[in-house]
Amino acid sequence: MLNIPTDLLRTLVAVTDMRSFTKAAQSLGVTQPAVSAQIKRLQYLLGYEVLDKSAPGVSLTPRGEIVVNSARRLLSINDEILHLTSGHLPGQAIRLGIPIDYGGSRLPGTLSRFRQQWPDISYIVTSGPIDDMVRDLKQGELDVVLALFTEQPAVQARHVWMQETVWVHSAATKLDPDGPVPLVSYGGDSACQRIAVAALHRAGLDCNFVFTSHSLVSLVAAVAAGFGVMVVPRGRAIRNKLSIWEDSPLPKLPGVYSAILVRDGGEREVIEKLADYLKDEIYVEPTQ
């Protein structure tokens, strides 16, 4: 009786989900020629084509659709057996995208604690503009994306909630009533910076970017030294012992939407558990 190696089926599923031989090779930790060779071997064993060469990009034949759907079920059972007998899935790398606003946050510690439950997983963490990360998620290049939106997100999210944003300052902060507001910020891709600038402009105020960094440690130090004011979610201000300017003369700020997105398709058990764990760790109950 013919047996189909599960690694060949896993390769086909990866190529299908990511719509690219190159991206599938990167996710599987092999070369692109190796992926091509595995697909050819699978087709040889099956005796028919699973990929439609006449269609652009990566497209399945009708038989290929049947194979992929069945392969997902078979791989799920395979991984469930491993999970039940060893307590975890072996060797899975989770690709996580985070906004620059999370630079220097407690996220590394959170990921480390989650790995105590799944010892064999590894992480590939990158940061970038939210539009780029959402695109990469849709293309299968990322598994989980943490995102901050200034408006209700239009994309489907596993978790979404609103966070209050606040101005923070220090005793050394001095504002010129006739001059621009000095801003300390993560930079142009930061949702909190966009909120700050928009709020100031609505109030007819200008601003200067006096200290910009992707390091939260540097930003906290800049605020403490009196370089300027900064906008952050209230929970982060409290965790980092920043002085919230409750009676600030600056304009009232809108909230920011926090979202956790997960990719479609493929094996999702671990990434969904990670998404849920991140939400539990990051979410802060709103103050009354």
Residue-range domains of the chain with CATH: 6-86 (1.10.10.10), 93-162+257-282 (3.40.190.10), 165-254 (3.40.190.10)
**Mean pLDDT, rounded, of the chain:** 86
Indicate the SS3 state at residue 195. helix
CA–CA distances in Å: residue 90 to residues 38, 201, 275: 21, 52, 19
Indicate the SS3 state at residue 53. coil
Query: Looking at per-residue confidence, does 162 or 18 come out higher?
Result: 162
Q: In whole angstroms, what is the distance from residue 156 CA to residue 149 CA?
A: 13
pLDDT digits over 181-204, tens only?
A: 999 998 877 899 999 999 999 999
Q: Which pTM was predicted?
A: 0.65
Does 231 have pLDDT greater than 80? yes
